Amino acid sequence: GDSWGIFAFLCAALCHLPAVPALNGTEELGAGQSIQKTYDLTRYLEHQLRTLAGTYLNYLGPPFNEPDFTPPRLARAERVPGATVDLELWRGLTDNARLAANYRAYSRLLCYLRALDGQAGTAELRHRLGHFCSSLQGLVLSIAGVMSSLGYPLPAGPTAAPGSPGAANDFLKKMDEFWLLKELQTWLWRSAKDFNRLKKKVPPAVVTLRLEARGF
């Protein structure tokens, strides 16, 4: 009860930090190049996460750091947005929906990851987490840049999920953290595929025309 209140406060505070992206720079790049940049960022983050997750899971201790650990996903209120999706549904997503799903997911994930920051074990781990959060922030901004250069509205900023139950005990809290990292990892794998699809579908020429029109 008490811990949830603190968590909610932290999340709200951290998430309402200015997240409005600086649009001027990315518009000049053109959507095609921005998508490539965003794709590259997801690959970089996925690589960083491998080391970070390993260290963090070791900090959580067994069974979380066991390779075959396959806990059932508890039917708790979905605080962390899921990457899992039906294949045909995923294929049929519009560019806008695809980008928006990524934007919402990483905004939320960033929020929860930042909340971990203050509690994690060693100073080194906290430093690594901090670095990762900065990179993740960069990804959120990059996605926002792509959306705005394509003329799509940004989804509403992330808010702490109201009324969702906090972790009742230490083990469940660790379980939440395990799933947070797992979801983050899966999203990064999914995003590579999302941005691959976007790369093919967004012709850079279209965007150049738009930019020229704006110049007049």
Partner 1 sequence: DSRIQYERVGADVTMKCGSMDWDAAVTWTANGTDIDDSHLNGSYLILKNVDLTRSGQYSCYEGSSWHLKYQTYLKVGVPPKEPVLMCRSNNYPKGFYCSWHLPSPTYIPNSFNISVIHGTREMVCEKDIFPKNRCHIRYLQLFSTVKYKVTLTVTNALGKNSTTLTFDEFAIVKPDPPESVVAKPVPNNPRRLEVAWQNPSSWPDPESFPLKFFLRYRPLILDQWQHVELSDGTSHTITDAYAGKEYIIQVAAKDNDIGTWSDWSVAVHATPWTEEPKHLTTEVQITETTSTSTSSFMPPPTTKICDKGAGVGSGAVAVCWTAGLVLAAYGVLFI
The distance of closest approach from Cβ of residue 179 to partner 1 in the complex, given in angstroms and rounded to an integer, is 7
The distance of closest approach from Cβ of residue 19 to partner 1 in the complex, given in angstroms and rounded to an integer, is: 25
Cα distances from 5 to residues 60, 142, 163, 206, in angstroms, run 23, 32, 10, 48
Helix (H/G/I), strand (E/B), else coil: 154: coil
The smaller minimum CB distance to partner 1, of residues 131 and 193, is found at: 193
Q: What is the CA radius of gyration of the chain?
A: 18
Main-chain phi, psi angles of 121, to 5 degrees: -55, -90
User: Cβ closer to partner 1: 27 or 46?
Assistant: 46
Q: How far apart are CA 132 and CA 114, in angstroms?
A: 10
Upper half-sphere CA count for residue 101 (Cβ side, 13 Å): 19
Nearer to partner 1, 25 or 71 (CB): 71
Q: How far is the CB of 53 from partner 1 (least distance, A)?
A: 13
Minimum gap (Å) between residue 215 Cβ and partner 1:
32
Q: Which is nearer to partner 1, 68 or 170 (CB)?
A: 68
Sites of contact with partner 1 (CB under 8 A) = 43, 46, 68, 70, 72-73, 82-87, 90-91, 179, 182-183, 185-187, 189-190, 192-193, 196-197, 200
Q: Tokens 């720079």 sit at which residue? A: 25
